[in-house]
């Protein structure tokens, strides 16, 4: 359990350090351009990952509460799979999901109280009055990689002539942690979930059944 915990702590620290720096050095909407396709763009969102919104003020409390319950539940699941000594890559992926979810929970629960607003100014840390109440903080996002820019051809259905950007969402370390873990689980699902062994075991069982059926008929 030590290594997964260290991974969780490491991702959380990196996520919060980056967010703290952006929050205390940039105003909302400010950008630092390293290239046309690599931008630090300070934005905040009230809802889900990658800048999506969810259900206003009550939705915000619901989403944060759900995330808290989810993180607690998946942490106990992590302890279970560690004890069962399942695939290590799977364990690390679960740890990354926990770290990502916890990173954005910290923003939602605490940032409204410990920071002032960032509109047209640099936020201050631990002001007399924060920009929101507990559980209503906004999640800080900053990584923006518009690698491809262009317009859909005029003949393209629905979006003909409209501008497209790939990759459009602005995200943070926590979002990336969750996304990477999901991608890894998809790419290495055979190794993680022992699908090859499961398939071989199923084939052996089917062969045994066929042999039993043939013997019975004889």
Dihedral over Cα of 205, 210, 216, 218: its sign: negative
Query: What are residue 121's phi and psi, to 5 degrees?
Result: -160, 165
Residue 92: both structure tokens together: 């690390």
Q: Is 107 a catalytic residue?
A: no
Catalytic residue among 15, 36, 107, 141: 141
Q: Is 175 a catalytic residue?
A: yes
**Could you tell me the CA-to-CA distances from 49 to 39, 81, 93, 193 in Å, in that order?**
18, 26, 18, 27
Residue 100: both structure tokens together: 């990502």
Q: List, in order, residues 6 or more apart from 1 with CB less than 8 Å away.
A: 78, 79, 82
Residue 88: both structure tokens together: 């290590």
For the CA atoms of 188, 191, 195, 198, the dihedral, rounded to the nearest 10 degrees, stands at -170
41 contacts 142 by C-beta, under 8 angstroms: yes
- Where in the sequence numbering do the catalytic residues fall? 141, 175
């Amino acid at each position: 359990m030590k290594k997964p915990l260290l991974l969780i702590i490491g991702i959380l620290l990196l996520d919060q350090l980056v967010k703290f720096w952006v929050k205390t050095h940039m105003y909302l909407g400010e950008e630092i351009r390293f290239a046309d396709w690599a931008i630090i763009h300070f934005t905040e969102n009230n809802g889900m990952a990658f800048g999506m919104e969810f259900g206003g003020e009550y939705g915000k409390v619901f989403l944060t509460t759900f995330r808290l319950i989810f993180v607690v539940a998946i942490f106990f699941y992590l302890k279970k799979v560690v004890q069962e000594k399942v695939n290590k890559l799977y364990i690390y992926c679960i740890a990354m999901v926990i770290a990502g979810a916890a990173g954005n929970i910290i923003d939602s629960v605490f940032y409204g109280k410990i920071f002032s607003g960032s509109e047209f100014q640099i936020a201050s840390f631990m002001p007399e009055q924060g920009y929101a109440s507990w559980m209503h903080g906004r999640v800080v996002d900053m990584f923006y990689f518009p690698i491809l820019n262009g317009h859909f051809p005029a003949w393209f259905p629905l979006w003909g002539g409209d501008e497209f950007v790939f990759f459009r969402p602005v995200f943070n370390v926590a979002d990336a942690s969750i996304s990477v873990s999901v991608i890894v689980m998809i790419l290495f699902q055979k190794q993680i979930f022992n699908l090859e062994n499961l398939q071989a075991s199923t084939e052996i069982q089917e062969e045994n059944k066929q042999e039993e059926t043939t013997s019975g008929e004889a």
